[in-house]
């Protein structure tokens, strides 16, 4: 005879399995409940700034490639958007292809989902419903986090329903033809949210949840990562995967803990798997991250035994299979990505790691004759050696060019990182407007990295004042050993290596038009945020003055954005003048933050000042993201009609 208890147990088992599966998914995707809050919060925020439109002409190529791929083909037969001669369209044997196929493939499930829902409801209402549900989910998770589930659930439901009603009232029909573009943008927003949670998870494991939360928020809201969140370019995907690489690398150096889902070797393999996926998006930048990872991982690994290397190598090879397969189907060469083919029509501004040249519709594949080889080398081997030399030069020459530019063109480096203003060679391609900001102007918070100079100087001073008889070579050897012993030091080395290699690859081409926030160097922004929060003085300020930091940031966003908007509106300076106002104010705050962070490295009494100025610097970065989305750049309808109404209201002010 069965009992009631037995029936309850039988009924409870499926629920328990679902609960366990959801907890596992939570751990794998975002880490914990606070990571989920940061992820959902990012989606809610960028849903407000999302415009469904083409911000830059390269987007036409990706959107047309997505339409083709969703229909089961790589060849782009027709221009659903714009023209087939848009930048980035590649040609091989008379057939046209897109590029960044890893990014395009990631957007395919989003397109299928949007098309399915649009078959039963207007696409505009789909986005409105989705955003309202995200608001509710965010409120529920915050309620569970602060132990007020009922109150926050009610508030979230009220907020979600009221905003849905408002959006539904203001909604206008949205063409289904925009769904592929919307899918690309939605996938970019999701990638940005994962970048925020990855930053949170990394620093939380290193330090604590408060510093981790500050990092996750700062990565996407205090830097131009938020600016590019809904623009379907490769940059935010690269940022998300790069942070994933750094996180997996750090976990591979941690002490073994029972609840870890992977072993240290498993996390090392995961880091290389992320590199493989990044290579599918952009082969050149994938190589940059791969090179940085190998240079740091192999010398600092606790063990490089054959078993570990086999696991890592096999995982990396499997992660590269989509890249190899895509290239084989397009060009017949597994290591020749679309960027190395001839470009069809207008040349793209992004020609780093590209070997193709502009060509007409009927052009064949590029490359000159090998000349049949020399008398000492058979033609077949001569051709192979020539091809290998060409590809090696294509990979390594940008690093050499970067060193050359650093030494011989310091003005260009200054105009890329510190102050640019109006540059005739750049402004002539941007409608004679000074709309391109430098790294520091775009994100004043990165100036806090200067504080590491103060930390280094302080350590040197203390070392000299001590009566240690250890030689310089001995201290250097101890520092090298610390890279193996300390997971934090090893991760610091990886971050520095990745930042330096990205800098070298692109600095010889900068400053350049159509950058706005030096988008080619977008991976440097989250790495710089990491460098800021790794400073003990900054963490002290966050720990001791956390509420002051939060209120200063909120005040800087809510009041600062209004002051900047009033100044821009009152002076009628136009887009270029508005962005230069951000630049000047940002430079002033950045300089103050750099000085304060350096002072805090010597004296704890500067911690409060550093914390306050750092919060203001973060707020200025957020102001640029918000005002750019609502005021400065108009290129399509918003996903949420209520934001469209607000933007129209601001434009008439």
Mean pLDDT value across residues 588-611:
94
- What pLDDT score does 636 carry? 86
Q: How far is C-alpha 334 from the geometric centre of its chain's CA atoms?
A: 27
What are the extents of the domains in the chain? 234-336, 398-465+472-637
Give yes or no for residue 347 having a pLDDT over 60.
no
224's CB contacts (< 8 A; 6+ apart) are 442, 443, 516, 517, 518, 519, 522, 525, 621, 624, 625
H-helix or E-strand spanning residue 91: strand 90-92
Residue from 162, 216, 158 nearest 192 by CA: 216
Q: CB-based burial of residue 268 (10 Å sphere; 0-12 exposed, 13-18 middle, 19+ buried)?
A: buried
* pLDDT of 379 above 90: no
Closest CA to 166 of 636, 645, 649, 634: 645
What integer is the mean pLDDT of 265-292? Answer: 96
Residue-wise pLDDT for 66-92, tens only, equals 999 999 999 999 889 988 888 889 999
Please check whether residue 419 is in contact with residue 438, taking contact to mean a CB–CB distance below 8 angstroms. yes
Helices (H) and strands (E) in the chain, counts: 25, 4
- pLDDT grade, residue 372 (50/70/90)? very low
Decide if 363 contacts 372 (C-beta within 8 A): no
* CA distances to 168, 170, 183, 640 from 164, in Å: 6, 10, 21, 9
Residue 123 to residue 136: CA distance in whole angstroms: 20
Please report the pLDDT score of residue 303 as a whole number: 86
Residue 4 has pLDDT above 50, yes or no: no
The CA distances from residue 521 to 102, 205, 409, 435, 516, in Å, are 20, 26, 18, 17, 11
Average pLDDT over residues 381-397: 70
How far is Cα 302 from Cα 113, in angstroms, rounded to an integer?
A: 44
pLDDT for 361 beyond 50: no
- Cα–Cα distances in angstroms (integers) from residue 429 to residues 423, 426, 513, 577, in the given order: 10, 6, 6, 17
Q: Answer yes or no: are the C-beta atoms of 414 and 373 closer than 8 Å.
A: no
Q: Under DSSP, is residue 416 helix (H, G, I), strand (E, B) or coil?
A: helix
Distance from C-alpha of 137 to C-alpha of 148, rounded to nearest angstrom: 14
Least confident of 352-366, 443-457, 585-599: 352-366
- What's the pLDDT at 444? 97
Beta carbons of 274 and 248 less than 8 angstroms apart: yes
Burial class (CB in 10 A: 0-12, 13-18, 19+), 450: buried
Task: Give the whole-angstrom CA distance, residue 527 versus residue 219.
Answer: 9
pLDDT above 90 covers a percentage of the chain that reads 66
Average pLDDT over residues 139-144: 95
Alpha helices in 207-348 (DSSP H): 209-221, 235-253, 264-281, 283-300, 306-331
Q: What is the pLDDT of residue 1?
A: 39
Query: What is residue 73's predicted lDDT score, i.e. its pLDDT?
Result: 94
Structure confidence at residue 563 (pLDDT)? 95
Neighbouring-strand partners of residue 90: 97, 343
Model confidence at 364, in pLDDT bands (50, 70, 90)?
A: very low
Q: Are 36 and 28 in contact (CB under 8 A)?
A: no
d(CA 110, CA 180) in angstroms, rounded, equals 9
Read off the pTM: 0.90
Compute the distance between CA of residue 648 and CA of residue 653 in angstroms, rounded to an integer: 9
Which pLDDT belongs to residue 22? 84
DSSP SS3 for 97: strand
Q: Cis before residue 470, ω within 30 degrees of 0?
A: no
The span from the CA of 58 to the CA of 235, in Å, is: 13
Q: What's residue 383's pLDDT? A: 63
**Mean predicted confidence (pLDDT) in 197-211:** 96
> Please, which pLDDT band fits residue 130 given cuts at 50, 70 and 90?
very high
Question: Over 70: is that where the pLDDT of 230 sits?
Answer: yes
Tokens standing for 160? 């979600």
Q: What is the pLDDT of residue 480?
A: 60
pLDDT, the chain, mean: 87
Q: Give the per-residue pLDDT at 369.
A: 40
Q: Averaged over 141-165, what is the pLDDT? A: 94
Burial of 104 (0-12, 13-18, 19+ CB in 10 A): buried
Please state, in angstroms and rounded to a whole number, the distance separating the CA atoms of residues 270 and 297: 13
Listing DSSP states for 505-562 in one string gives HHHTT-S-TT-TTTGGGTTHHHHHHHHHHTSHHHHHHHHHSHHHHHHHHHHHHHHHHH
447-450 long-range Cβ contacts below 8 angstroms, 24+ apart: 447/590, 447/591, 447/593, 447/594, 447/597, 447/617, 448/528, 448/531, 448/532, 448/535, 448/538, 448/593, 448/594, 448/597, 448/614, 448/617, 449/528, 449/531, 449/532, 450/594, 450/597, 450/598
For 628, which DSSP code? I
563: tokens are: 């002051």
Please report the pLDDT score of residue 269 as a whole number: 97
CB 276 within 8 A of CB 319: yes
Residue 8 pLDDT > 50? no
Hunting for tokens 């309620």 — which residue is that?
143
pLDDT in the model for residue 599: 93
Mean pLDDT of 415-425: 87
Confidence of residue 21 (pLDDT cuts 50, 70, 90): confident
What is the per-residue pLDDT for 2?
Answer: 44
The predicted structure's pLDDT at residue 272: 98
Burial 595-608 (b: 16+ CB within 10 A, else e): bbbbbbbeeeebbb
Is the pLDDT at 482 greater than 90? The verdict is no
Return the pLDDT at 422: 82
Q: Give the pLDDT band (50/70/90) at residue 483.
A: low
The rounded distance, in Å, linking the Cα atoms of 183 and 52 is 10
Q: Would you place residue 467 in the very low, low, confident or very high pLDDT band (cuts 50, 70, 90)?
A: very low
- Compute the C-alpha angle 69/73/79, nearest 5°: 70
CA 60 to chain centre: 21
- Using DSSP, state whether 358 is helix, strand or coil: strand
pLDDT at 418 over 80: yes
pLDDT of residue 466: 52
Locate 219 and state its tokens.
């990565």
pLDDT of residue 221: 97
d(CA 436, CA 518): 7
d(CA 177, CA 195): 29
User: Which tokens is 354 given?
Assistant: 């590209």
Q: What is the mean pLDDT of residues 376-395?
A: 65
DSSP result, 134-157: HHHHHHHHHHHHTT-HHHHHHHHH
């Amino acid at each position: 005879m069965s009992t009631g208890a037995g029936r309850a147990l039988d009924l409870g088992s499926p629920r328990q399995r679902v609960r366990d599966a959801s907890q596992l998914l939570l751990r794998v995707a975002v880490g914990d409940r606070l990571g989920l809050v940061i992820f959902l919060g990012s989606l809610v925020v960028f849903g407000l700034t999302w415009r469904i439109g083409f911000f830059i002409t390269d987007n036409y190529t990706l959107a047309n490639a997505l339409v083709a791929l969703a229909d089961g083909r790589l060849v782009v037969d027709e221009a659903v958007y714009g023209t087939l001669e848009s930048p980035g369209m590649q040609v091989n044997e008379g057939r046209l292809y897109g590029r960044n196929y890893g990014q395009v493939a990631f957007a395919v499930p989003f397109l299928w989902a949007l098309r399915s829902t649009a078959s039963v409801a207007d696409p505009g209402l789909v986005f409105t419903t989705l955003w309202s549900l995200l608001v509710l989910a965010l409120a529920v998770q915050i309620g569970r986090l602060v132990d007020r589930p009922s109150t926050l659930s009610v508030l979230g439901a009220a907020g979600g329903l009221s905003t849905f009603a408002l959006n539904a009232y203001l909604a206008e029909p949205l063409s289904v033809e925009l769904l592929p573009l919307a899918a690309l943008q939605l996938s970019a927003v999701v990638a940005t949210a994962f970048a925020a949670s990855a930053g949170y998870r990394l620093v939380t494991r290193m330090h604590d949840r408060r510093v981790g939360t500050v990092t996750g928020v700062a990565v996407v809201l205090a830097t131009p990562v938020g600016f590019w969140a809904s623009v379907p370019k490769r940059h935010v995907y690269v940022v998300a995967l790069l942070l994933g690489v750094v996180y997996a690398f750090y976990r591979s150096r941690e002490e073994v803990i029972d609840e870890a889902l992977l072993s240290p070797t498993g996390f090392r393999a995961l880091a290389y798997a992320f590199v493989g996926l990044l290579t599918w998006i952009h082969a050149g930048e994938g190589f940059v991250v791969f090179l940085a990872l190998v240079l740091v991982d192999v010398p600092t690994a606790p063990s490089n035994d054959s078993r570990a290397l086999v696991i890592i190598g096999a995982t990396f090879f499997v992660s590269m299979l989509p890249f190899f397969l895509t290239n084989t189907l397009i060009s017949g060469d597994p290591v020749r990505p679309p960027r190395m083919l001839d470009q069809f029509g207008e040349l793209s501004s992004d020609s780093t790691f590209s070997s193709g040249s502009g060509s007409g519709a009927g052009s064949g594949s590029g490359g000159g004759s090998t000349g049949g080889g020399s008398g000492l080398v058979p033609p077949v081997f001569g051709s192979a050696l020539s091809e290998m030399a060409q590809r090696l030069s294509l990979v390594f020459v940008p690093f050499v060019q970067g060193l050359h530019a650093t030494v011989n063109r310091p003005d260009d480096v200054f105009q890329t990182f510190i102050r640019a203003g109006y540059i005739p060679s750049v402004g002539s391609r941007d409608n004679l407007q000074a709309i391109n900001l430098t790294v520091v102007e775009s994100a004043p918070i990165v100036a806090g990295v200067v504080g590491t100079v103060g930390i280094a100087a302080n350590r040197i001073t203390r070392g000299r004042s001590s009566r240690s008889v250890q030689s310089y070579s001995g201290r250097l050897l101890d520092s090298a050993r610390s890279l193996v012993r300390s997971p934090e030091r090893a991760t610091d080395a990886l971050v520095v290596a990745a930042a330096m290699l990205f800098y070298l690859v692109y600095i010889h081409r900068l400053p350049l038009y159509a950058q706005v926030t030096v988008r080619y160097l977008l991976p440097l922004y989250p790495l710089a945020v990491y460098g800021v929060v790794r400073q003990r003085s900054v963490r002290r300020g966050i720990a001791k003055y956390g509420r002051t930091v939060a209120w200063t940031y909120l005040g800087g966003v809510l009041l600062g954005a209004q002051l900047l908007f009033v100044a821009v509106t009152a002076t009628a300076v136009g887009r270029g003048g508005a962005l230069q106002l951000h630049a000047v104010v940002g430079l002033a705050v950045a300089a103050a933050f750099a000085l304060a962070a350096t002072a805090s490295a010597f004296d704890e009494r500067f911690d409060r000042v550093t914390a306050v100025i750092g919060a203001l610097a973060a707020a200025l970065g957020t102001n640029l993201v918000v005002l750019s989305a609502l005021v400065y750049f108009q290129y399509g309808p918003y996903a949420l009609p209520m934001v469209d109404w607000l933007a129209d209201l601001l434009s008439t002010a």
